[in-house]
């Protein structure tokens, strides 16, 4: 018999060799039908895999990320089997589960090109194979056996992966006529997969290397029930309407130019105004929390980033060094702001009485993202972080960390992000070479985050292996208006950069001590944040934030002079208004302004010019009637004031 410990610390005995599915059946038949994977002593397993010794377990269903992972990982194998039947010369790269579904990178051979038109027949073949109820069978083989198997199949991509593995046991998974190199986990059989949607076809370089062969990447998603697919299709239709690239163009916020370079956004006047509004809002909040603004260069000497460790860890993802013409010095486009802020801290001697010190900067940084990974504003090569670095004493650390959480709460309230989870991202204790610094400092940093999160009453999950290379962090995962998850806002505790930069302060004991550093970026980056905000709101920003609060529309050229008078009056009252004096019909002007999500439409004609009034329409609400210019000014200013006072009450 073996002892199985459940998440509530209940312990039950089972026969050795029982599986997660067997344990689920012992609890209830309904649970057994829902369970998809199992965590055994912190490792995710197939629910059909036998457990032969005492273990702590957690069963996962579709509601859990671990359950979806097993489901979509199995679906990637099912799609590979379908591709193998439809395209016999296919060779396989990798096929992981991702946040929303899965993909597989394949080489179809013989110059075969796949397009979106081919996806329905692949879906149909997958459904046909799923109904066969083929089991996902795990077998363990030696490295030599694995190499021999894939060599016979002429699978060069798999052979490359196997050659990089250490000697020892390697796991295969087989379902039907398809066998793959894989560590799992997988479903018991293919019949769990009831509904399938293949979304797109893209190109992807093997191992992400532009010098390697370009493979075909097929993206898909599957579900255990047809109704889940129907809900997904509705969500995706809504997502298309909210796509920040589409809205950004319609609202004239940003653009890209091949002449400037891929992944380098150009902010148009309205987008620049939106960014300025966000920056000014955060600056006001930060001022109340004692932050000071700093400015640092866009480049830095390469030795700065070697000291910080960024060059060692991320040098390959940075733009290559720039050499000065005369001296031959090497500089990097700034990939991070934190090393620069460390140098500002070192500007003069520090006492414990000076701490905490809080430096904030909207600092633009540059990182080389491969062209295939670029996506609108969410994945770019040039972006501006709402960065800040706090330097504090050990006894100040937890309190300062909690104050940063308060700032993030203020931002979420201001922008109506209500559904979020705080992810505590800790180190992977097995792969220690990913990180810098001592275990002692890591232990202290991780404990501070765990305790501060608990004291703030956060709904948290712990993810191992997701820490930054210099310290653990707290990441805020929000759900937008249509249920998609985004990572926004991060707070990191760092004992290591202060050591590498030899930062010091004189304590009350008159001895020198190291400060602790907190990295934080509530928005993350202005680019990504604006993209998420656009898709969350559908472009309908709160009035305090929107770049154009009102547009004035004369019904004909005769009333342009009066419209300009209204414009001047509103602008003089700090209302962001614009004039649409195009020679177009008023209906066209209204439709165009609706597309640009302008909150208030001010229509002026003979009646308004004679009476000194304006006719007001609110986007989505229709006609609000006639008001004097002063009444409208007071009305719109009160709406902004009410919004801001509600935020600042937090």
- Let me know whether 480 and 613 are in one domain: no
CA proximity to 614, closest of 556, 551, 543: 551
Q: For the chain, report the end-to-end CA distance as a whole number of angstroms.
A: 55
From 49, 158, 389, 528, the catalytic residue: 389
Among 241, 276, 309, which residue terminates a domain? 241
Q: What CA–CA distance (Å, rounded) separates 566 from 551?
A: 10
- Residue 649 DSSP label: T
> Quick one: pLDDT band at residue 636, thresholds 50, 70, 90?
very high
State whether 102 and 152 are in the same domain.
yes
Task: Determine contact, residues 380/265, Cβ cutoff 8 Å.
Answer: yes
Domain count, the chain: 5
pLDDT of 650 higher than 70: no
Check if 284 is active-site: no
Q: Are residues 557 and 620 in the same domain?
A: yes
Is residue 132 flagged as an active site residue?
no
Q: What is the CATH number of the domain that holds 422?
A: 3.30.930.10
Spell out the residues 6+ positions from residue 29 whose beta carbon is closer than 8 angstroms to its own.
Answer: none
Q: Does 324 fall in a domain? A: yes
Which of 537, 567, 597 corresponds to the end of one domain?
A: 537
DSSP 592: H
Q: Is residue 545 part of a domain?
A: no
> In this predicted model, what pLDDT tens digit does every residue of 551-594 receive, in sequence order?
999 999 999 999 999 999 999 999 999 999 998 888 898 888 88
Q: Do 598 and 451 fall within a single domain? A: no
Residue 519 designated active-site: yes
Which of 46, 107, 386, 387 is catalytic? The answer is 387
Maximum C-alpha span of the chain: 93
Of 338, 342, 403, 617, catalytic: 338
Residues in contact with 396: Cβ distance below 8 Å, sequence separation at least 6, in sequence order: 355, 356
Confidence category of residue 430, pLDDT binned at 50, 70, 90 = low
Q: What is the pLDDT of residues 356-410, one digit of tens each?
A: 999 999 999 999 887 777 899 999 999 999 999 999 999 999 999 999 999 999 9
3-state secondary structure of 456: coil
- Asked if residue 544 belongs to a domain, the reply is no
- Which of helix, strand or coil describes residue 429? coil
Would you state the pLDDT for residue 283?
95
Pick from 107-111, 266-270, 305-309, 465-469 the range whose average pLDDT is largest. Answer: 266-270
Mean pLDDT of all residues in 24-53 = 92
Mean per-residue pLDDT over the chain, rounded: 92
| Whether residue 485 is found in the same domain as residue 554 | no
Residue 502 binned pLDDT confidence (cut-offs 50, 70, 90): very high
DSSP letter for 468, please. Answer: B
In a domain, 583, yes or no: yes
Distance between CA atoms of residues 537 and 161, nearest Å:
43
From 381, 473, 513, 514, the catalytic residue: 473
> What is the model's pLDDT at position 649?
67
Q: What is the pLDDT of residue 355?
A: 96
> How high is the pLDDT of residue 167?
85
C-alpha dihedral over 284, 289, 292, 297, to 10 degrees?
Answer: -80
Contacts of 514 (CB under 8 A, 6+ apart): 495, 498, 499, 503, 504
Residues 484 and 379 in one domain: yes
**Do 436 and 474 share a domain, yes or no?**
yes
Separation between Cα atoms, residue 146 and residue 477, nearest integer Å = 39
- Residue 248, in any domain of the structure: no
Strands of 282-349, DSSP E: 292-293, 299-301, 322-323, 330-333
pLDDT more than 70, % of the chain: 99
CA angle 439, 444, 445 (to 5 degrees): 95
Q: Is there a single domain that holds both residue 200 and residue 120?
A: yes
CATH number at residue 15: 3.10.20.30
Check which CATH number belongs to the domain holding 600 and give it. 3.40.50.800
Please report whether residue 200 resides in a domain.
yes
Half-sphere exposure of 339 (CA within 13 A, CB side): 22
| Domain at 219, CATH number | 3.30.980.10
Q: How far apart are CA 273 and CA 285, in angstroms?
A: 18
Catalytic residue among 84, 385, 423, 627: 385
3-state secondary structure 377-393: CCECCEEEEEEEEEEEC
Q: List, for residues 55-97, the tens digit of each pLDDT value.
A: 999 999 999 989 999 999 999 999 999 999 999 999 999 999 9
Catalytic, out of 519, 596, 597, 617:
519
- In this predicted model, what pLDDT tens digit does every residue of 261-311 receive, in sequence order? 999 999 999 999 999 999 999 999 999 999 999 999 999 999 999 999 888
**pLDDT above 70 (res 470):** yes
Domain that holds residue 316: 298-333
- Within this chain, do residues 377 and 292 fall inside the same structural domain, yes or no? yes
Neighbours of 586 (CB within 10 A): 15
Report pLDDT for 376. 92
Q: Is position 338 annotated in a ligand binding site?
A: yes
Q: Both 233 and 306 in a single domain?
A: no
pLDDT digits (tens, 9 = 90+) for 141-166: 999 999 999 999 999 999 999 999 88
Question: Does 627 or 464 have the greater pLDDT score?
Answer: 627
Q: Specify the long-range contacts of residues 566-575, CB closer than 8 Å, at least 24 apart.
A: 566/602, 566/604, 566/614, 566/629, 569/629, 569/633, 570/629, 570/632, 570/633, 573/633, 573/637, 574/637, 575/549, 575/550, 575/633, 575/636, 575/637
> Residue 89: which of 216, 277, 242, 243 has the closest Cα?
216
Tokens 């002079």 belong to which residue? 561
User: Do both 268 and 231 map to the same domain?
Assistant: no
Any catalytic annotation for residue 511?
no
Beta bridge partners of 392: 516
Establish whether 519 is an annotated binding residue. Answer: yes
Stretch 407-436: mean pLDDT, rounded?
85
Pair 178, 151 in one domain? yes
Q: Is residue 246 part of a domain?
A: no
Point out the domain boundary residue: 537, 566, 591: 537
Q: What is the pLDDT of residues 227-271, one digit of tens each?
A: 999 999 999 998 899 999 999 999 999 999 999 999 999 999 999
Residue 542 lies in a domain: no
Tell me, yes or no, if 338 is annotated catalytic: yes
Does the annotation mark 473 as catalytic?
A: yes
């Amino acid at each position: 018999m073996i002892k199985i410990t459940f998440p509530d610390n209940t312990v039950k005995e089972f026969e050795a060799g029982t599986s997660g599915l067997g344990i689920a059946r012992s609890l209830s038949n309904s649970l057994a039908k829902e369970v998809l994977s199992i965590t055994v002593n912190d490792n995710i397993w197939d629910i059909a895999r036998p457990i032969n010794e005492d273990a702590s377990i957690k069963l996962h269903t579709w509601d859990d990320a671990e359950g979806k992972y097993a489901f979509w990982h199995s679906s990637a194998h099912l799609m590979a089997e379908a591709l193998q039947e439809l395209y016999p010369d296919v060779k396989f790269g990798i096929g992981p589960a991702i946040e929303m579904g899965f993909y597989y990178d394949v080489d179809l051979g013989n110059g075969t090109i796949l397009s979106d038109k081919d996806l329905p027949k692949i879906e149909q073949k997958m459904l046909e194979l799923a109904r066969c109820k083929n089991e996902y069978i795990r077998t363990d083989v030696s490295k030599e056996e694995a190499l021999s198997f894939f060599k016979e199949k002429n699978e060069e991509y798999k052979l490359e992966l196997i050659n990089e593995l250490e000697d020892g046991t390697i796991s295969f998974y087989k379902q039907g006529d398809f066998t793959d190199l894989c560590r799992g986990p997988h479903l018991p059989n293919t019949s769990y997969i009831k509904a399938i949607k293949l979304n797109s076809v893209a190109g992807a370089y093997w191992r992400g290397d532009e010098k390697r062969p370009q493979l075909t990447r097929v993206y898909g998603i599957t579900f255990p029930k047809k109704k889940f697919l129907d809900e997904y299709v509705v969500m995706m239709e809504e997502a298309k309407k909210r796509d920040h690239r589409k809205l950004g163009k319609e609202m004239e916020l940003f653009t890209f130019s091949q002449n400037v370079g891929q992944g380098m956004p150009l902010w148009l006047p309205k987008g620049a105004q939106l960014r300025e509004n966000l920056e000014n809002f955060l600056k006001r909040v930060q001022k109340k929390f004692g932050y000071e603004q700093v400015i640092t260069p866009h480049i830095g000497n390469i030795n700065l980033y070697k000291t910080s460790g960024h060059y060692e860890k991320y040098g390959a993802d940075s733009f290559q060094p720039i050499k000065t013409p005369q001296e031959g010095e090497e500089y990097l486009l700034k990939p991070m702001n934190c090393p620069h802020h460390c140098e500002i801290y070192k500007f003069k001697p520090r006492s414990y009485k000076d701490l905490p010190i809080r430096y904030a900067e909207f600092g633009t940084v540059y990182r080389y993202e491969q062209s295939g990974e670029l996506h609108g504003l969410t994945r770019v090569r040039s972006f501006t972080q709402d960065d800040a670095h706090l330097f504090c004493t050990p006894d100040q650390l937890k309190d300062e960390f909690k104050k940063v959480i308060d700032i993030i709460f203020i931002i979420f309230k201001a922008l109506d992000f209500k559904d979020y989870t705080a992810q505590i991202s800790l180190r992977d204790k097995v792969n220690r070479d990913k990180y810098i610094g001592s275990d002692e400092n890591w232990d202290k940093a991780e404990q501070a985050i765990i305790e501060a999160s608990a004291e703030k009453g956060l709904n948290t999950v712990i993810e191992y292996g997701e820490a930054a290379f210099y310290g653990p962090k707290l990441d805020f995962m929000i759900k937008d208006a249509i249920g998609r998850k985004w990572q926004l806002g991060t707070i990191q505790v760092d004992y290591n950069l202060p050591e590498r930069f030899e930062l010091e302060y004189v304590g009350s004991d008159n001895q020198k001590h190291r400060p602790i550093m907190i990295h934080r970026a509530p928005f993350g980056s202005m680019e990504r944040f604006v993209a998420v905000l656009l898709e969350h709101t559908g472009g309908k920003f709160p009035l305090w934030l929107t770049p154009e609060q009102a547009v004035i529309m004369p019904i004909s050229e005769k009333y342009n002079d009066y419209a300009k008078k209204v414009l001047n009056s509103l602008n003089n009252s700090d209302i962001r208004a614009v004039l649409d004096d195009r020679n177009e019909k008023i209906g066209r002007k209204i439709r165009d302004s609706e597309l640009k999500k302008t909150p208030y439409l001010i229509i002026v004609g003979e009646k308004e010019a004679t009476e000194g009034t304006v006719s007001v329409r609110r986007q989505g609400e229709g006609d609000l009637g006639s008001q004097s210019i002063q009444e409208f000014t007071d009305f719109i200013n009160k709406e902004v004031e009410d919004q801001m006072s509600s935020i600042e009450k937090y």
